[in-house]
Structure 1
Amino acid sequence: MENQEIQITYTTTEKPKPNAESLEFGKIFTDHMFIMDYSLEDGWHSPRILPYQPITLDPAAIVFHYGQTVFEGLKAYKTKDGHVRLFRPNKNMERLNRSNRRLCIPEIDEEFALQAIRELVRLEKDWIPTAPGTSLYIRPFIISTEPYLGVAPSKRYQFIIILSPVGAYYKEGINPVKIAVEQTFVRAVNGGTGEAKTAGNYASSLKAQELVAEKGYAQVLWLDGVEKKYIEEVGSMNMFFKVDGEVITPSLNGSILEGVTRNSVITLLQHWGIPVIEKKISIDEIYQAYKDGLLEEAFGTGTAAVISPVGELSWNGEKLAINGGKIGEVSQRLYDTLTGIQYGTKEDTFNWIIEVS
């Protein structure tokens, strides 16, 4: 696969670029997309960039009926001097293959996939917005395309990459959000697909999200699916708490997605000498820390929002105001450092950045 040349068909009707100041997340898409096919006979083949367009699938395609699909999410950033950068894209490609293995999808060549991303982003670099907090969101995904109404891995797939200029994921921006602890529904269980980035995980979270949104909450805090007492993720992000000077985060247990931002945050905290521990965390433990005045900060981490501080946690009918509803010192420092590295205003001491152009 690594020796295949990517064929390019250029669009003849360029779309107007959006106003960067009023961008929402994931609603506008660029002029071109990448597609590559898979069959048992030929493996991954026919890589191509072509004008952004609908895809045609048989109504019996396995993806529609049994959800055999995986995806990733990363961003491209433009520096003040016009350079285009990716933040740790190799980690996303590694995770894509972990998801592939879990969903019985043939693995892709990670270096070739990264080459495809770079070539597509390079072609679409004029779509990268430069207003503060904006970027070009990159969505690689794989769908099963074999027409077959049988519960078995597909024999055909497509690997597709689309791009979307985006603003802040949450309208609140870096301001703290209100979170409700979910006690009825569960996101995933150990042995399920929680550690894979697959569509069904997100579809199953919609009902809980809909219910808390009606009460004014931005997201749900998921508890484990067995005892419903141990903290897992918040919405589609990994979760961190600062308790009595120490940062703690749920350990990866088979039902939690291993976030690239999560890994980066742990690395930064260790580099700064701030104690950080991965462990099993119960909601009771966090509640007790709050009652004792030791819960100093709480925040979610993810590609879309980077750092999302939590200003209020609703649990058992009680509202826990964290850090007076304001962003904490560690949350702010993490956000400033990560975005500084991404946009080129801070030194990349960990070699996390890959230049596109």
Structure 2
Amino acid sequence: MKIKSQIVVASLLFISIESLGQTSQIKIAQNAVGKLQVAIASGLDKNKQLNIIGEGIKATESALTDRKTKNWPETWAIRSYLSSYVALLDDNDSNADKYYQTAIETLDQAKKLDKYQSNGALVDAASYNIIIKKQEKGNKAYQGGEYLNAFTLLKEVSDFFPKDTTIAVNAALSAQNINDYTTALALFKRAKDNGITNPAVFQAMAGIYSSKFEQETAIKTLEEGIKVNPYNMFLNNNYINLLLDNEKYDRATQAIEKTLSVEKKNKLLYFLYGYLYQVNLNNSTAELAYKKALALDQNYFDALYQLGLVYLNLANDALKLEKKDISGFGAYINRAEYALLQAHEINPNDKQTTQLLIDIYTRKNKLDKVQDLRKKLLEF
């Protein structure tokens, strides 16, 4: 009986010492956390920080071999916290990725075991570090063209930092690249609602709305963009083109006039302004607008072509008068010929320009030129 009693006592003593040993490992890990925080605050180099972290991780490894301490949420929380720092600090990508995975796995376990959230600070810190690592990996994936992986990571990062507009935009761009336009739109909107003013965001949103046939929302989005980026050339051009595409000519004209009041070097705007007046049969104003566009670029094919049409229209109008204006007709035909010849020199393969010149030379009875142009037309 005495022998048996002594064995039991010895056994209990052994268990007590072993338990104490594992508890001391937790103390070492706790100390490592404290030392790491001091090292970070003191600006110690990362190699010294990694050495401190190594001590703590080694202690948690020992603690995880014990029946008691392996179920302590603190053991897992400390291991996740320290592993997440290795993932951020280690220059060895393979090692950093290993600890990144460890940080994620141990964080999940820490959350499961911590019913009373007594390790909230460690869990929050580890979560933060893991998210920062995901942002790093997401950006790298995007740059490498791995858009699905980039989207998965950056979407999670954006959900963690919903007010960070840069992250939201990067996640949205990733979504666009995998054709998830609904999520891309939601992420762009998140960035917009949090105060981003980048014109490209409004352009991207408007483009998605247009693809969904929500034209009014697309127009409104561009108007919002112009409000925070007044007279931005790209936004204004998109806005005007969208108005034209949807036959909102009055609003387009107003938008062009407003922009031209401060931006007088935009040949495209002068061209569009002239075109709007031309389709409304105001050839005189159209002529002035096309001339202003050509003053900025004398080789502007579209402006030359449309100016030629304006002169042809004016020539036809001269013949419609009660008393036909033959001299006016001749003058306008000559101007049309001159403008269209310039356009033809710039783009000799344009069929419409060639056909208009054939019509003019037919009227002028210059049949040799008509024949030459018809031969060219057959070669196209």
Alignment TM-score, normalising by the size of structure 2:
0.20
Larger Rg: 2
Higher percent of residues as strand: 1
Higher percent of residues as helix: 2
Alignment TM-score, normalising by the size of structure 1:
0.21
